[in-house]
Structure formats: C-alpha cells, structure tokens
C-alpha cells in the first residue's frame, strides 16, 4: 500500500467481508485495523478456520481457548467460551473442566492427540520428538494440519497480547 487512503479502501473491503460473514466487526479486528497487513492476516486466519469441518473448527476453538486461558487473556477466553457454548453446545461446566483436563476435551480421540501435541509444542517445543509428528501422521493428520495446530497455538499469544494490552472488551 502506498498511502493510508488506499489502505482504508482495503480495510473497508475486509470489514465488509467480516460483516457479511459474522454479522458484526469484533473489537479485536477493529483494533487490528490499525495495520492493514495485521488485519488481513488475522481475518484470513479466522476465515480459514471457519471453512474447516465441524470437528476441525471445534478443535481450533478449543486450542485457542486453552492457549488464551494460559495467557490470561480475558477477551479471547470470553470469545472462545461464547463460541463453544453457542455453536458447539458445550456447557460452562464442561468448559471449566476442559481448562483443567484438556485430555478429556469433547473431541474425537485423534483430535485430542493433536490438541495435546499442540499444547506440548506451545509450552515447550524442545520436548517434541520426530516420533510425535509421525504418530500424528499415523492418525491421518496431514502435515499442514499439524503445522496449523502449532501455528495457531503460538499465533494466539500475539492476539492475546494485543487484546490484553489494549484492554479490548468482550463483544460476543
């Protein structure tokens, strides 16, 4: 982008897409619009998750919830709890248990393995062995799915930091 006017035109296009997809512009995406490239990346990542299968979407939302909880990001915890309650009919008690025992997540067994792997990578990637990756591939996860799980876990730290630093209010 050469100037702010051109950027604003592109931001408006993304806002239209967000509005058409979600029905509103979440506060965190409004914050991200301070930098067109950040907004484009955050919305692109979010939109990619929204195109995934039901189970894969649920996996990524649970992963994001758990990472956000570890990072003490009230905004993101609130958003992902709301989505899990409203879209996936996971009750509040189950979400609280999930935060303590991710191995009992309401996911298919293979996705629980991917979840535990992504959390392990998030917390201490040096503990990951090549055999961990091979085990996930044996469960029929494609390399991109494994990569996306690791990326989304670490990526949430950036979003959590922005939301917490700017005191973004929950809007769901």
Question: Residue 171's pLDDT is what?
Answer: 86
Same domain membership, residue 105 and residue 35: no
pTM confidence score: 0.93
100-119 per-position pLDDT tens digit: 999 999 999 999 999 999 99
- Calpha distance 73→67 (Å, rounded): 9
Alpha carbon 35 to its chain centroid, in Å, reads 20
For range 150-166, the mean pLDDT: 97
| pLDDT exceeds 70 at position 2 | no
Same domain membership, residue 78 and residue 94: yes
Count: domains in the chain: 2
Range of the domain at 109: 53-167
Residue 96, domain CATH = 1.20.1290.10
Same domain membership, residue 146 and residue 62: yes
- Calpha distance 98→34 (Å, rounded): 34
Same domain membership, residue 111 and residue 68: yes
| Residue 37 falls inside a structural domain | yes
Question: Residue 37's pLDDT is what?
Answer: 96
The closest of 63, 11, 62 to 41, measured between CA atoms, is 11
Compute how many other C-beta atoms are within 10 angstroms of the C-beta atom of residue 158: 12
């Amino acid at each position: 982008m050469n100037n702010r006017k051109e950027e604003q035109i592109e931001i408006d296009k993304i806002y239209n897409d967000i509005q058409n997809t979600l029905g509103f512009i979440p506060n965190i995406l409004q914050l991200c619009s301070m930098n067109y490239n950040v907004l484009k990346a955050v919305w692109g990542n979010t939109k990619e998750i929204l195109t995934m299968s039901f189970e894969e979407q649920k996996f990524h939302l649970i992963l994001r919830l758990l990472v956000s909880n570890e990072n003490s990001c009230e905004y993101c915890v609130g958003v992902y709890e709301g989505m899990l309650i409203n879209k996936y009919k996971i009750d509040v008690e189950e979400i609280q248990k999930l935060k303590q025992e991710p191995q009992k997540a309401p996911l298919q067994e293979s996705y629980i393995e991917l979840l535990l792997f992504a959390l392990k990578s998030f917390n201490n990637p040096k503990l990951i062995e090549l055999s961990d990756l091979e085990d996930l591939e044996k469960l029929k996860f494609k390399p991109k799915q494994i990569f996306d799980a690791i990326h989304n876990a670490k990526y949430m730290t950036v979003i959590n930091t922005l939301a917490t630093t700017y005191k973004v209010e929950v809007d769901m």
